[in-house]
Homo-oligomer: A and B are copies of this chain.
Amino acid sequence: MAKTEILLTKQDIPRQWYNIQADLRSPLALPLHPVTNQPAALSDLEAIFPVNIIEQEVSQERWIGIPDSVLDVLAMWRPTPLVRARRLEEALGTPAQIWYKYEGGSPSGSHKNNTAVAQAYFNKIAGTKRLVTETGAGQWGTALSFACYQFGIECQVYMVRVSYDQKPYRRTMMRIWNAEVSPSPSNQTNTGRAMLQKAPDCPGSLGLAISEAIEDTVTHANTKYSLGSVLNHVLLHQTVIGLEAKEQFNRAGIKPDILIGCAGGGSNFAGFVFPFCAGKISGESDCRIVAVEPTACPSLTRGDYRYDFGDTGGMTPLMKMYTLGHDFIPAGIHAGGLRYHGMAPLVSALMNEKVIEARAVNQIPIFEAAVMFARTEGLVAAPETAHAIRVAIDEALEARKDGQPRVIAFIFSGHGLLDLSAYEAYLSGQLQDYEYTPQGGCVKS
């Protein structure tokens, strides 16, 4: 048989999330108020998040129970398989084993559903009637739309105008799950109206969409805001991925030597690797843990570890993180989900403590890797996921050079069936590589 899978049953879905804050060598640096520069009060957050979510954000408890109603929805696609990429191994002629944890089978086709479901549930029991968010290409908006429908909450998504026009498929998926999708800038907020008056053809930006979503939240009753990455509670909800993977490896009696994930805001990476990090922090494990980012937006490999705003507009609390500066505009690579100027504070802290390492890879090599993966393993990966595939293949080629077996595992964060235009550009030789400059990416000469 070409492929070996390690499957779990519904009964094996984790019952608790793993909170890495309990195991950090030193506590996470506190967020600062954007105006006073003093530690932010939790009450500042209550305008946009429900209290139960804020409690998770700051909790120091190692294990946090997953409510039955959340498990019940997660069980629609979890547990996810851990698969050995034997055909890829054969094509590479490597002595290494390559495993991937497959998150592409969820309703939105990515890991994003894991936190969307939890956030919709906690908002529901806190009395929220309507959740508001922003989305770029639409991956996160899709996941939240699905989750809100499951718990009977209205969902309002501000979608960056240029994606709204150019990527109608994701917009349609949100509508299937009954969400209200507005192009941003929209006529629904002061921020949007002001921008439209100034520039009627404004293509929008993620920063602007965030501003609209937050204005909508604070000006409507029973309405809260939801974020798809970066924050501690989002990463917490994603740890079901790594907890399952750890159990799967345990059952197979296999110890991974290197874990790999792409990192934009950091949530799929964190979800996969955090459950393996405790052993690394305590010194019991020497597993290498690698975050992969695009050369065009290299926050971990080229950024500074300092306080910065989470958004482009400078309205969020200041968070200590690896950042390229909140006004950094990355080049227009196809992996839109990795075009974030900063990095989750928890991932940043582990990077600073050298628990994890980071690598930046360029656009053409990631599609080369993704095409090889599709040909051998039959799965078309999202451009974001392709970053992890690239490094997994590079490590397997290293193993061949060394003549040393090793166990490589990566997270397949999402499928690329709605990103096929990027593959077309690659196959037609129309893609470009980029170099980083502090002013933004420039085309590699």
Chain A interface residues toward B at CB < 8 A: 1-5, 7, 9-10, 71-73, 75-77, 87, 105-107, 109, 146, 149, 168-169, 171-173, 175-178, 371, 374-375, 377-380, 417-418, 420-421, 423-424, 427
A76, B176: Cα distance in complex, Å: 30
Closest Cβ–Cβ distance, residue A60 to chain B (whole Å): 31
Interchain CB contact (< 8 A) of A375 among B75, B178, B374, B418: B178
Q: Which residues of B contact A175 (CB under 8 A)?
A: 423-424, 427
Contact in complex: A75, B177 (CB < 8 Å)? no
Starting from the known contacts A107-B379, A109-B417, A176-B374, 13 additional A-B residue pairs (CB-CB under 8 Å) come to A1-B10, A1-B71, A3-B75, A76-B87, A146-B378, A168-B420, A168-B421, A169-B417, A169-B421, A171-B424, A173-B420, A175-B427, A176-B371
A427, B73: Cα distance in complex, Å: 25
Kindly name the residue among A2, A4, A10, A374 whose own CB sees the greatest number of chain B CB atoms within 10 A.
Answer: A2
Q: Which residues of B contact A2 (CB under 8 A)?
A: 72-73, 75-76
A422, B87: Cα distance in complex, Å: 35
Contact in complex: A378, B76 (CB < 8 Å)? yes
Q: Tell me whether A380 and B417 are in contact in the complex, defined as CB-CB below 8 angstroms, given that A73-B2, A375-B149 are known contacts.
A: no
Q: Which residues of B contact A375 (CB under 8 A)?
A: 149, 176-178
A294, B194: Cα distance in complex, Å: 49
A424, B171: Cα distance in complex, Å: 9
Query: Which B residue's beta carbon lies closest to that of A113?
Result: B378
Contact in complex: A377, B76 (CB < 8 Å)? yes
Contact in complex: A107, B75 (CB < 8 Å)? no
Contact in complex: A423, B176 (CB < 8 Å)? yes
